[in-house]
Chain A
């Protein structure tokens, strides 16, 4: 049974979401990939405000295809998350509570998630056409010069994700694989 989560996710809510849990997210999320994270973290280092409120924010690692006429957005599946590992601890410390991407995360990210209370979700990589149907509104917040990598504010309804790493550091990529292998013995 999928758990419905209304965004934003507070630190307290983040600590209740468990690795392996399938969730449907509704509300506002922000998009950022490598190039946008680099700029956001430069602002954080300089102690300047971010172009959007990062407190309790969920960031989706995605660079969508351009919207066809009459559509909100193009295909919009997750990109590989480890490229954001260099930036995520600072973002989590600044208030980010949710990350949506796909693939492994480094130990420094997991440590920050445990320390501050944050969750890492995966959306299905390569299912960009399907995931885009959950995006009801999209607008560029900043960094328009980055094209697909600009920061966008999205309103999503029932975006299907799976909690891969929870705020205790439990990891579905390890437990899921181990459970499957154990079932085959």
Chain B
């Protein structure tokens, strides 16, 4: 049994908060730059050029790529052979507090959804924990902007709706969102499980690199087909028209009930941020 103080999480999370907000992941940059090469519509080309210029400026000056530095989603994959001492929740929130202060990041969290007073330090984090084999802890920090979060949807489809119903729902969600979530978007999809698990899977799908397709060839093909059909919608970068509406579609799935077909679509903007470290 490896023993580790929860406090060890704090410094790592603080650093990841700053890096995730100022440096766009390589795979997302690659998708945007590929899209710029294949985009046939002139207005859209101009928008993609400015998006590329923007993340260049952010990285060079260590300033946030986007002013919505998000609610801070923290994913901990905790090896079952690690014994964490101390208060994990407090250590994670202290990391977020420190990162958002030191990195001059925006504090975008209200304490209560109805009474709406800003917590002033971007805490609490949205904390997700998973137990895995081994004696290490994998920490992923993913700042999530709400322009795209607000355009996310969930449907409890019927088994008879099948794959066609799932495809139609995903396409409709992206089409109705239109310009609002800052396209080109990354589409995270969760299929199966329960009401809440489907939403969780959709969020988890956004953590996967856009370089990686689903390990199951059936779902990998579905991802490719959906990306193609979403990019035929014509919404385009910023909704001004064009081919590049989405950069990737990532699907996660799990078993579900004989009576159900839950599907959740979690949309992310072109500033799809996440950064991982291992302790």
Q: Which residues of A contact B (CB under 8 A)?
A: 35, 62-68, 74-77, 79-80, 82, 102-104, 122, 124-130, 132-133, 146-149, 160, 162, 172-173, 176-181, 183-184
Q: What residue of chain B has the Cβ atom nearest to residue A125's Cβ?
A: B182
- Give 26 CB contacts A-B under 8 Å: A62-B67, A63-B106, A63-B108, A65-B69, A65-B105, A65-B106, A74-B63, A75-B63, A75-B67, A75-B69, A103-B147, A126-B54, A126-B65, A126-B66, A129-B54, A129-B63, A129-B66, A130-B53, A147-B118, A147-B120, A173-B179, A173-B240, A177-B234, A177-B235, A179-B241, A180-B243
Verify if B50 is at the interface (C-beta below 8 Å from A).
yes
Q: What residue of chain A has the Cβ atom nearest to residue B53's Cβ?
A: A130
The 10 closest A-B pairs by CB, nearest first: A176-B241, A180-B241, A125-B182, A103-B180, A129-B58, A128-B67, A130-B54, A127-B54, A75-B67, A181-B234
Query: Which of A62, A68, A126, A176 has a CB less than 8 Å from the CB of B270?
Result: A126
User: A-B contact count, CB below 8 Å?
Assistant: 150
Known: A125-B269, A129-B57, A133-B57. A74 touches B68 (CB 8 A): no
Tell me which residues across on chain A come within 8 A of B51, comparing CB atoms: 124, 126-127
Q: What residue of chain B has the Cβ atom nearest to residue A124's Cβ?
A: B50
What separation, in Å, do the CA atoms of A29 and B49 have in the docked complex?
Answer: 26
What separation, in Å, do the CA atoms of A82 and B235 have in the docked complex?
Answer: 18
Known: A65-B106, A129-B58, A177-B234. A77 touches B66 (CB 8 A): yes
What separation, in Å, do the CA atoms of A65 and B107 have in the docked complex?
Answer: 8
What separation, in Å, do the CA atoms of A30 and B41 have in the docked complex?
Answer: 33
